[in-house]
Structure 1
Amino acid sequence: MTIRPPARVHVRPGPLLLSGVDDGLSLRAHRARFGDLPRLDLDAVVGLAESGSVRGRGGAGFPLARKLRTVADRSGLRPSRRPVVVVNAAEGEPASAKDEALLGIAPHLVLDGAELAARALGARRVHVVTSEDRPLIGRSVLDAIGERGDSRVTWTTHIAEGRFVAGQARAVLELMAGRPGLPVTAWAPEAVDGHKGRPTLLSNAESWAHLAAAALVGPRRYAELGTADEPGTTLLTLTRPADHRGRIDVATVVEVEHGARAWQVLDAAALAAPLLVGGFHGAWLHPRDLPSLTWSQAHLRSLGASLGAGAVVSLADGSCPVARTAQWTSYLADETAGRCGPCRNGLPALAEEMRGLAEGADTRRRVQELTGLVTGRGACAHPDGTSRLVRSLLTTLADRVDEHLLGACGCTADVPVRVA
């Protein structure tokens, strides 16, 4: 089965990263809005990342400042092994379009962040990875690189296969090495042992844009947005489930300040329905929690969720969360690299039990058993993320599962568990 990226992407202007939506995407327009990129040493760049609490925005949420320090320390131990910087825009999550929007509207903000870090680390090359199923973004990146004639770094682009796991860090490094872009087992983080054994600073496109924004507008102005504990903004992709062909019709990308209220971007129908936050590796939120929901990692953690990849899927279409979770579990089971037991055996078994649950059999005990068996045992975090999705259905939306098994949820039989 397959689920495809959004057919249409709408982008709303935002307070920082998306503030130049109407200005054009050229380097001249970018410099007119933000000014020249400052030349900062490593301590200053790390300070920006720390003061802005810049984290990975691809799902893991790892602090960028810690990665910077690790890469710098490892490079110091082996001066002959120059570090490498990687912009990961291989947006494998089909419910997300934030990297697509960002690189389509403000590509130079992303490239500025990567160049800023490369200069500070003494890296000579920056790699930019995009996805084959979002071809317009690959072209936008090439056009933007072509404008940066005075850059102090060499830019190399790569195109990843349009698969869910293609954006995983080790899958990106495999692609850069000329091998199939699939996850492999790693014994050390990329910052220690990355591309060709070199210390590698790899982060999501949005993370690089935040680092650049903090440098260009200054840490004080950056901190005026968001909250004291979570400064700045975040990008969200608002969608509804894919249709019977596996195509998400439209996605809306918005930029919100951390701490903003959910009702500021969700309509009344979305506030009254189950909400998946963090994409297909995310977690369900119950409608009763949505009126008070804020876009804050701390608040989301209290509800058992996180921003993850920033994908927010609403069931305002009236579809059943049990049927949708079964459909998405089947999709995720098909999207594995097939290189470890949890992916080869565990996820297909989990998908089959979820299919049974969607069809009315009470398979919850076996589903819980399988999520426990695959968690923490994969070559990458794909089994863990899939289990997180399923467990949140059984816990957060337990009442909806009960209604479904009693035949009282009102769901229709036309939500397919498998999509061709």
Structure 2
Amino acid sequence: MTAVSIATIGSPRLTMGFDRFDRIDLDRHRALHGALAVPTLEELLKITEAVDIRGRGGAAFPFARKLMAVAKQVGRPGDVDDFLLPGEEDDHRGRRQKRAVVVVNGSEGEPGSKKDKVLLTRNPHLVLDGAQIAATALGTRDIVIAIEDETAARSMRAAIVERRMPAEVVRLPERFISGESGAVIRAINGETPIPPGRKVRAAESGVDGRPTLLSNTETFAQLAVLVSLGPDLYASVGTDSEPGTTLLTVGGTTVVECPLGTPLASVFAQCGVQPGQGVLVGGYHGEWITPEAARTAIVSRAGFQAVGGSLGAGIILPLPEGTCPLREVARIASYMAGQSAGQCGPCRLGLPDLYRSLEALVDGSGSPELVRRAAGIGRGRGACSHPDGTARFALSALNTFARDIEIHQLNGTCGQPCFGVLPLPVPGGGESKFAIDWSRCEGHGLCAYLVPELIQLDRYGFPVVLDAEIPGWMETDAQRAVAMCPALALRMVPVMAKQPKAKRK
């Protein structure tokens, strides 16, 4: 994992001890946070409802409601009876019912987020405390930790050995959509790790078809802190409606723990950054806000909503001066188009069209209306939230960078280069994109017929190739298009990792 700095505002909770230890082992964890407490289901429901603890993966779903939904499927709380068949449990009415599974979603497909990886690598025992608290309340020992990052996976495996607990670590592919709950469940079940395309409640049918409690890494760490402190002490910081602390990833390189209700300006001051030309809050499914809004924003769900943003998974990405905002937005839209599962029209065709409309803004030939039209097609009809989230990202840029759009329409450019400051994954070596040998191309147009998602024809009948990575789900169609090109002009070339730009003076 790329080196990440840690900062705190106020007294640390989740990051306690990070200033002294690179990794907190079990003995140090117990010295810092105390012995593991195991409340009953009734007690756990009471304290999680008292502070209204919410999921920290982006959706902010009430944890108590998730817990209750799984508990209802299980039938009763209590210890697992060893004599029952694997995966089954008797309730007080004598019925056979499947035992619950607790899943820690440690997948951070968002390139700008580092908070969960930090928790998994620096204090894995705090996360396991939360998972074990939930599992005990539900009467199960079955815990699965789903992780993309290998360093984080090694840390969790070592922690599991230290605790001698029967938990399992499952590796996920490093893709943006891998962290979607349905994709996580499918990966654990040995299926293709993409959203299922239809709403499936994990509480009813998750891992192996069993009732599953799935929340992200920080949520379980917050649960452990809540049980350790109790609701009153836990709520001694934060706001009345949103108590406690939260983790933010600022600029993709600094993880900050701060009380909810902290001014965003204080977070920037702690990290030594400025709002720049605008701030993306909530990640690549979030919203852009203006520098003026960022200076008045309060770190909380309500605080960000008041300025047109969303807290999401706590990703804060200021866009510094000197780089072209529209090119940065289009660059991310290209990445998002390549990260889809390709199982519905809004992803297969809608996201490439959205990227094309943003590229037209960059060269001055497009308009905000064309972007809105591309973003609106298929809204709410996707197989998952990926197309709607990407559309939200693009639409918010129209307001925040309205002046830049006018300059590009007037001059065809703003005169600024694109330094690629918004974080993206480094290509792993297997990615490719289309290229055309123009000395051979005769404008047959077959490629646009075979892969309309990435190739369209201009008014003269020649191909216009989307400068985007070829998604995995298009690999077969892409190879077929290359093989069938009559002029042998279409090729697939490797996506090369971009070299770092020289620092601007």
8 Å CA contact 2:75, 2:97 repeated in 1: no
8 Å CA contact 1:113, 1:212 repeated in 2: yes
2: CA distance between counterparts of 1:294 and 1:403? 31
Task: Give the alignment partner of residue 155 of structure 2, picking from 140, 145, 148.
Answer: 140
Deviation at 1:399, TM superposition (A): 3.2
Structure 1 SS opposite 2:200: coil
Q: 1:324-369, CA deviations, whole angstroms, 9 ceiling, x for partnerless residues?
A: 1111111000001111111111111111111111222223222111
What letter corresponds to residue 25 of structure 1 in structure 2?
A: I
Check if 1:90 corresponds to 2:138: no
Task: Give the alignment partner of residue 227 of structure 1, picking from 217, 236, 239.
Answer: 239
Q: 1:79-135, CA deviations, whole angstroms, 9 ceiling, x for partnerless residues?
A: 52111110000111011000011111111111111110000011220000110xx22
Deviation at 1:36, TM superposition (A): 1.0
What letter corresponds to residue 400 of structure 1 in structure 2?
A: D
Check if 1:401 corresponds to 2:405: yes
Alignment gaps of 5+ in structure 1: 1-5, 240-249
User: Which residue pairs with 2:464 in the alignment?
Assistant: none
Deviation at 1:7, TM superposition (A): 3.0
1: CA distance between counterparts of 2:321 and 2:169? 38
Q: 1:11-410, aligned counterparts within 5 Å?
A: 11-13=6-8, 15-21=12-18, 22-23=20-21, 24-76=23-75, 79-131=96-148, 134-149=149-164, 151=165, 154-239=166-251, 251-267=253-269, 269-407=273-411, 410=414
Structure 2 SS opposite 1:266: helix
2: CA distance between counterparts of 1:186 and 1:192? 14
2: CA distance between counterparts of 1:74 and 1:108? 28
Deviation at 1:204, TM superposition (A): 0.4
Deviation at 1:316, TM superposition (A): 1.5
Deviation at 1:398, TM superposition (A): 2.6
2: CA distance between counterparts of 1:269 and 1:236? 14
> Would the alpha carbon gap of residues 104 and 383 (structure 1) be closer, same or farther in structure 2, given more than 3 Å must change?
same
User: How many percent identity over aligned positions?
Assistant: 40
1: CA distance between counterparts of 2:263 and 2:232? 23
> Would the alpha carbon gap of residues 418 and 318 (structure 1) be closer, same or farther in structure 2, given more than 3 Å must change?
farther
| TM-score for the superposition, normalised by structure 2 | 0.76
User: Which residue pairs with 2:503 in the alignment?
Assistant: none
What letter corresponds to residue 5 of structure 2 in structure 1?
A: H
Query: More displaced, 402-411 or 276-285?
Result: 402-411
1: CA distance between counterparts of 2:265 and 2:74? 46
1: CA distance between counterparts of 2:212 and 2:405? 44
2: CA distance between counterparts of 1:73 and 1:321? 49
Deviation at 1:314, TM superposition (A): 1.0
1: CA distance between counterparts of 2:43 and 2:351? 44
Deviation at 1:139, TM superposition (A): 0.6
Q: 1:364-388, CA deviations, whole angstroms, 9 ceiling, x for partnerless residues?
A: 2221112112321111111111011
Structure 2 SS opposite 1:180: coil
Structure 2 SS opposite 1:374: coil
What letter corresponds to residue 171 of structure 2 in structure 1?
A: I
Deviation at 1:396, TM superposition (A): 3.8
Structure 2 SS opposite 1:284: strand
> Would the alpha carbon gap of residues 411 and 35 (structure 1) be closer, same or farther in structure 2, given more than 3 Å must change?
farther
Deviation at 1:269, TM superposition (A): 4.9
Q: 1:176-230, CA deviations, whole angstroms, 9 ceiling, x for partnerless residues?
A: 1111211112333211221222111100000000011000122111101111111
Structure 1 SS opposite 2:136: helix
> Would the alpha carbon gap of residues 269 and 172 (structure 1) be closer, same or farther in structure 2, given more than 3 Å must change?
closer
> Would the alpha carbon gap of residues 113 and 291 (structure 1) be closer, same or farther in structure 2, given more than 3 Å must change?
same
Deviation at 1:291, TM superposition (A): 1.8
Check if 1:9 corresponds to 2:4: yes
2: CA distance between counterparts of 1:317 and 1:155? 47
Deviation at 1:400, TM superposition (A): 3.5
| TM-score for the superposition, normalised by structure 1 | 0.90
2: CA distance between counterparts of 1:82 and 1:184? 23
1: CA distance between counterparts of 2:137 and 2:247? 26
Structure 1 SS opposite 2:247: strand
8 Å CA contact 1:109, 1:209 repeated in 2: yes
8 Å CA contact 1:170, 1:186 repeated in 2: no
8 Å CA contact 1:331, 1:418 repeated in 2: yes
2: CA distance between counterparts of 1:305 and 1:343? 23
Deviation at 1:317, TM superposition (A): 4.7
Deviation at 1:408, TM superposition (A): 9.4
8 Å CA contact 1:48, 1:211 repeated in 2: no
1: CA distance between counterparts of 2:416 and 2:391? 25
2: CA distance between counterparts of 1:12 and 1:108? 20
2: CA distance between counterparts of 1:70 and 1:269? 42
8 Å CA contact 2:277, 2:291 repeated in 1: yes
8 Å CA contact 1:318, 1:411 repeated in 2: no
> Would the alpha carbon gap of residues 79 and 18 (structure 1) be closer, same or farther in structure 2, given more than 3 Å must change?
farther
Structure 2 SS opposite 1:85: strand
Structure 2 SS opposite 1:265: helix
Alignment gaps of 5+ in structure 2: 77-94, 421-466, 470-494, 496-505
1: CA distance between counterparts of 2:388 and 2:118? 28
8 Å CA contact 2:287, 2:393 repeated in 1: yes
